[in-house]
Structure 1
Amino acid sequence: MLKTLARLSLVAAGLGMMVPAQAVNFEYGGAEFQWNTKLTAGAAWRMEGRDVGKIGKLNVPGQQNLCSNRGGDVANYGPYDDDCLSLFGDPGPNKRLVNARGGYFAALMDDGNLNYDNGDLVSSIFKINTQLGGTWGDWTLKLNYVGFYDETNYNLDVKHTNTQYQPSSERRSDSIQGRSGLKGEFREAFLLRNFDIGDRSFSIAVGNQRLRWGEANLHLFNTLDAINPLDAILALQPGFNLNELAVPTGMVLLTADIVTNVSAELMYQYDWDTTRVQPSGTFFSSADPAGIDTYRPVLSLGQFPEDPNNQYIPALPFRLLSSSTRNAPVEENGRPAKDGGQFGLRVNWYAENLNDGTEFGVYFLNYHSRVPYFSIIEAQATCLRRNGIGDAVTSLAGCLAPQSAGVFNPYLLGNSNPAGEPLPINSSTLLLDYPEDIRMFGVSFNTTALGWSVSGEYSYRPNLPAQVLISDVFFAGYQQAFAQRDVTLGSSGLPPQVDALLGQLGIHIPATGAILPGAETFIPSFLTQYRGRTIANNDEYQPGEYVKGYERLKVGQFVINALKLFPSTLGADDVTFLAEFGFTHIIDMPEKGDIYFQGNLEHTHPSPGADCTGFAAGTNCNALDVVARINPTRMKDGFADDFAAGLRFLLQFNYSNFMNSGVNVKPTLLWFEDIYGTTIFPVQNYVEGNRWVIPGLQFEIGQSLNGTLLYQYFDGKDNVLQDRDNLSVSLTYSF
């Protein structure tokens, strides 16, 4: 999600897309004003077909009936009526899912992939970015407005390849249409006053402003530059301007010259804002629940179709007891951070006699997360828990008793009572969670060596939130919806009430039996074990309780870069080369096996799979308690690591008055290579094996007109954008 934003937004920085403009200068009331405006038109096209592995299994064309074709008609079952779950002891349904094309978890990240075909326009934008600056004595005013209209995304009909519970196409919601297609807002808006105390200079600025710290150029996450949230919507549009990347927020900024060659910045942020993630279904979106406020089948590893209107009908044997869907509502603003409590200090020292001048900085920042984490509200308790551990069969009889005792399933007896729901799966809620009070300490330097500009930084966060494996968070949030122990149907005998009800419905359980799996079989959670919130400890998460989806870790990051300008090289007036290396390390990271942290978005769960992966040798792979689990196959890799590193390069040639045309041309190449390890989600700089290469061309005609041509190439088996190569063009007029 945010790794995409980091890399794509840096294209603009590499291409130098901010060109000088002919500003409008005027005076009024003794104040001097400068007004700059940029008008941009741009378009982008998808240049690569979909990789079926990036699509949810039931969303792959031709596979919508892989696990069921009953749709919304309870009388229309088959040829499969099992949700690809092997609850009758037959491994076939799960094997069908494992062998099918597509990704297990991909249904929660494929909307943007499905909405755009190869060759489609993915954006066609017109944008205005206008800025007014004024000075009056010691006072400075700055106002900035950005507005855009993206015709492609404003009028887009979203596509659904699985039409069991939704149409093949429909209009986008007003919320998503507005965020992705038509929006305008004032961004920077602050007032600054310069003043002196004795022989020292000070300034104070109040309002919405940007504040950049640190020395990292081609890294964005976990750096010292953590004050402002980022705008993924503007950053991924054709013709993006670098000053649009950071979202200005309300703060008070005091700067001071303390002593000769020592300066300081003291900041208090009184306004918290989030990173603007890509809305669900836009071309670069890769985490559907993070950009939409709706229902999603979160308790699914490929088995359940998208069901926005909650029409899903459970398969056997769940249908015997339950009418609950497999959805959960997504609350986009579920746990926002508070506005106050964000503050920081930077102190700079310029050592003029060290290496012909070297600048050092020390930093402290206390801030709230600008990026969302996935947490969950624990589901309501199943009625199978009424009589405690070991007596779920008696509880089952109570669940299915006459209405006065709590009959729930309307498909069985035509009425309902939520208190009698044996599988209240849709009673959970997925939250976008923003942890507070992250502390950051850091140092930086900037100097020259052998004709190169060399700079670097190290940041340390003793309590940085790290996303727990998302599927494991979901499993933790549904423990109460399942019995504490397995309930076997058919082979071991059932209470008379249950036998009578099944006979009344004409439903016959095979002689081998079926199983209503308990939580420890169907959805075992490492997170609950790690925190001791287990049945054995008599301390489970209770219905409606908040289940935090992250753990705080000790995280450090180092970045170093070198920049050099080579004059008169390869026929160019000059060549700019920037190389940057960085690594992220985690101190005392918990061992895999105790808890797993999110690395990528395309896997299952590390518990044993229904295909017998993860079980000891000699296990009966057809046993009910082996095959009756939602995890199709054990996830073996793709988790976050305690160390990860990567390289970034920028190469730009500058040809002034190219071939006497009066046009300045700048061919550019950006190369990002993740060389080792995977960093914690969602603030990811590295996913091992990922590569991103961007050849580009910028041209300038005079002071007012410039354009760009970019091709973006993605590679890496775990790269969520591996199949979304694209070509973009833009033209900007400045005045």
Structure 2
Amino acid sequence: MVCHVKDSNEQITARVLAQTTVLLGLLCSLSDTSAASYKINEDWSLESNTTIALGASWSTQAPSAALLYKPDANHIGKNGMSVDINGDDGRANFDRGDAISQIVKGFSEFRLVGKQQGAVLSAKYWYDHAYETGEGDLKPFDDSEWPSLVKFKGIELWDAYLWKNIELNSNQHLNLKVGKHSLNWGKSQFFQNGLNSVSAFDFAAINRPASEAKERMIPVEMFSFEAQIQPNLKLEGFYQFKFRPSVVDGCGTFFAISDFVPENCGPIMLTVTPGDKLTETAAKAQTYIPRSASHYAKDSGQYGVALKRNLSSLNQAELGVYFANYHHRNANFDGIAVIGAGVENFKTARFFSIYPENIKMYGLSLSGKIGTTNLFSELSYKPNQPLQLNGTDIVYAQVLSKETPLKPAGVAADFGEYLQGYVRLPVTQFSIGASDSIAGIFKANSLSLGAEFAVNHIANIGNHRFGRVGVFGRSELSTGAYDSETGDFKCTPYGTANLPNDTVDHLNERYCNKDGFFSEWSYGYRLRAALTYKDLLPATVITPSLTFRHDVSGYSQNFQEGQMSLAAAVSANFRQKYSAEVIYQNFFGSNDFSTIDDRDFISLAFKYSF
């Protein structure tokens, strides 16, 4: 993510290419063994596997003016028409052609294997040259206070657990794990917020080039078991000893859509109308809301069980029944109102992330096969899922606005009042998908196809306003709906962000409403197709693929109505040791509240496994 750097872009490019050439040469000189195995004695062996990767990504679009706060954008020679001072760092820092990652990374795994027991230890490590040496157009990159997984370089212990298999009799056995490991619940392949909610995800790793599937789900300290009770009946369960949240990209990085949501980012800048200030000026004037310490969930109280049965009447399809009690993996935000009126008291307010506890989840899954087609589905119900209220509404309530939906019309929050930023509501999610493989298409060895459809329902949503990012400004005031004829009940007053009046009128007409918030129903689908060629090059498997996203209707955690994306990729794997992949990601569609349509990028990655 380089815009202004200590060396020129040409020098950095030359240096990275040189380092890449040297490293690839070293890798190619190593043994052709893809994994190492050492026999200790008749009962024990040690296995190891390491993947080293080089990757880089570049932005292929200039930032959209609609997402850049005008004074900040003008300060760095760009165009902007957003009224949100707290949501543009991630896009203002980069222009078309800028590197958004230049990474060297690795993943090493060691397995001590006995006849019926063993141990697993793994670690991931990475260094992102673009962030470590670069500066954004608007702000320098600074990860000093961020969680370790989000930092630009690091070494992280991943798996660390013991396992034991116990044979009870010929038809019964018990598999046990204790330690730090991941748990893969549910059947959904494309959607979150379902049965996989019991797991935490490393979204920062997902967005890096050369991402590995096994590093995306964060291992958690826990005890888990799988018991084969009968030939067609299985019981699974877990109890977690530690709470670990999901992590998102740090503020100011390419994929960050907020300057204060990621952990240890902020503060929330407040501007004074008319004549709004630059971000840096607002900080000096102390017109901001500081961030307080995060309220993490307790380590105890996270557990779950699942009963799975193979149904002979449905061609041995597997039916699963689930229950879990877990703590929210994603941050919600609460706030405390100012202790006195006036701009000088803005800094007496506080905001902080909070991870609500004891979410109940009930679920069903059904997976099986019809002919050669694999079918999978799941249903989850959470009677008390926390849903985040609109952040802009919370901020205005903190500074005693009498026009927010958090209070009755004309009523302001009390001095120092605690404002809970989320509401618990019943949420139901259903998904169904299929996958298959067809030979002889386009002269390929196989064509792999996958599709999944999901629908989300939020009960009792009422007048709550969940979601919708602050870059689009305030929503409809509680005191009245915006009147474009008279100009009454403006969400954005004239003078905001030094925007001309006609632009302010346009923003009010487009966004001063109740649109873009979570809806009772939302749904969409995902498609993937991949061709496999094994004979184009010696000992090399070539795989071109396409992945398509379409959010058809409604808004929720998974869907933004009209949002589409297309990822085109080509990978080459030589002897299951050396691989290369290029990916182009394009975001588009008719989503009026999209914050990703200008984040198209291209990635290139090389990997070596041994």
**Structure 1 residue 64: Cα displacement:** 9.8
1:193 and 1:148 map into 2 onto residues whose CA distance is 32
Q: What secondary structure is seen at the aligned counterpart in 2 of 1:335?
A: coil
Give 1:512's aligned residue: none
Give 1:561's aligned residue: 433
Q: What secondary structure is seen at the aligned counterpart in 2 of 1:638?
A: coil
Look up the equivalent residue of 1:238 and give its one-letter code: P
Among 263, 288, 292, which residue is 1:327 paired with?
288
- C-alpha contact 1:295 1:308 (8 A) present in aligned 2: no
1:57 pairs with 2:70: yes
- Structure 1's unaligned 5+ residue stretches are 1-19, 66-99, 161-168, 313-324, 383-420, 480-518
Give 2:25's aligned residue: none
2:486 and 2:95 map into 1 onto residues whose CA distance is 47
Look up the equivalent residue of 1:24 and give its one-letter code: A
Q: What secondary structure is seen at the aligned counterpart in 2 of 1:172?
A: coil
**Structure 1 residue 356: Cα displacement:** 2.1
Alignment of 1:464-475 (within 5 A): 464-475=385-396
- C-alpha contact 1:294 1:308 (8 A) present in aligned 2: no
Give 2:528's aligned residue: 650
Give 2:190's aligned residue: 218
Return the index of the structure with the highest Cα Rg. Answer: 1
**Structure 1 residue 559: Cα displacement:** 0.4
Look up the equivalent residue of 1:372 and give its one-letter code: A
Q: What secondary structure is seen at the aligned counterpart in 1 of 2:562?
A: coil
Give 1:697's aligned residue: 570
From the superposition, tell whether residues 599 and 62 of structure 1 become closer, same or farther in structure 2 (CA, over 3 Å): closer
Alignment of 1:587-606 (within 5 A): 587-590=459-462, 594-606=463-475
Among 165, 176, 182, which residue is 1:204 paired with?
176
From the superposition, tell whether residues 561 and 621 of structure 1 become closer, same or farther in structure 2 (CA, over 3 Å): closer
1:443 pairs with 2:416: no
Give 1:708's aligned residue: 581
From the superposition, tell whether residues 21 and 38 of structure 1 become closer, same or farther in structure 2 (CA, over 3 Å): farther
Give 1:721's aligned residue: 596
**Structure 1 residue 50: Cα displacement:** 1.2
From the superposition, tell whether residues 309 and 529 of structure 1 become closer, same or farther in structure 2 (CA, over 3 Å): closer
1:620 and 1:526 map into 2 onto residues whose CA distance is 18
Look up the equivalent residue of 1:278 and give its one-letter code: D
Give 1:574's aligned residue: 446
Q: What secondary structure is seen at the aligned counterpart in 2 of 1:275?
A: coil
1:126 pairs with 2:98: no
Give the structure with the larger strand fraction: 2
- C-alpha contact 2:90 2:253 (8 A) present in aligned 1: yes
**Structure 1 residue 214: Cα displacement:** 1.0
- TM-score normalised to the size of structure 2? 0.85
From the superposition, tell whether residues 63 and 663 of structure 1 become closer, same or farther in structure 2 (CA, over 3 Å): closer
1:424 pairs with 2:345: yes
- C-alpha contact 2:287 2:344 (8 A) present in aligned 1: no
2:92 and 2:59 map into 1 onto residues whose CA distance is 12
1:268 pairs with 2:239: yes
**Structure 1 residue 597: Cα displacement:** 1.5
**Structure 1 residue 525: Cα displacement:** 1.7
1:644 and 1:454 map into 2 onto residues whose CA distance is 22
Q: What secondary structure is seen at the aligned counterpart in 1 of 2:586?
A: strand
From the superposition, tell whether residues 542 and 137 of structure 1 become closer, same or farther in structure 2 (CA, over 3 Å): farther
Among 294, 297, 305, which residue is 1:345 paired with?
305
1:114 and 1:685 map into 2 onto residues whose CA distance is 26
- C-alpha contact 2:444 2:532 (8 A) present in aligned 1: yes
1:528 pairs with 2:417: no
**Structure 1 residue 171: Cα displacement:** 5.6
Give 2:118's aligned residue: 140
Range with greater deviation from structure 2 (245-254 or 283-292): 283-292
- C-alpha contact 2:209 2:605 (8 A) present in aligned 1: yes
Among 514, 520, 545, which residue is 1:668 paired with?
545
- C-alpha contact 2:476 2:514 (8 A) present in aligned 1: no
**Structure 1 residue 349: Cα displacement:** 0.4
1:617 and 1:158 map into 2 onto residues whose CA distance is 42
1:733 pairs with 2:605: no
- C-alpha contact 2:44 2:113 (8 A) present in aligned 1: yes
From the superposition, tell whether residues 627 and 131 of structure 1 become closer, same or farther in structure 2 (CA, over 3 Å): closer
1:223 and 1:655 map into 2 onto residues whose CA distance is 34
From the superposition, tell whether residues 526 and 299 of structure 1 become closer, same or farther in structure 2 (CA, over 3 Å): farther
The total of aligned residue pairs comes to 560
Q: What secondary structure is seen at the aligned counterpart in 2 of 1:641?
A: coil
From the superposition, tell whether residues 283 and 549 of structure 1 become closer, same or farther in structure 2 (CA, over 3 Å): same
**Structure 1 residue 618: Cα displacement:** 6.8
- Structure 2's unaligned 5+ residue stretches are 1-31, 498-503
- C-alpha contact 1:21 1:703 (8 A) present in aligned 2: no
Give 1:165's aligned residue: none
**Structure 1 residue 300: Cα displacement:** 7.3
Give 1:45's aligned residue: 58
**Structure 1 residue 123: Cα displacement:** 0.8
Q: What secondary structure is seen at the aligned counterpart in 1 of 2:356?
A: coil
Give 2:419's aligned residue: 547
Look up the equivalent residue of 2:110 and give its one-letter code: L
Q: What secondary structure is seen at the aligned counterpart in 1 of 2:195?
A: coil
Give 1:311's aligned residue: 284
**Residues 149-189 of structure 1: CA deviation (Å, up to 9, x unaligned):** 111111121332xxxxxxxx546353359733211111111
Cα RMSD (Å) = 2.9
**Structure 1 residue 375: Cα displacement:** 1.6
- C-alpha contact 2:90 2:258 (8 A) present in aligned 1: no
**Residues 274-327 of structure 1: CA deviation (Å, up to 9, x unaligned):** 111101111111122122434231577994431388322xxxxxxxxxxxx320
Identity %: 23
Give 1:172's aligned residue: 142
**Structure 1 residue 270: Cα displacement:** 1.1
From the superposition, tell whether residues 294 and 474 of structure 1 become closer, same or farther in structure 2 (CA, over 3 Å): closer
- C-alpha contact 2:259 2:265 (8 A) present in aligned 1: no
Q: What secondary structure is seen at the aligned counterpart in 2 of 1:154?
A: helix
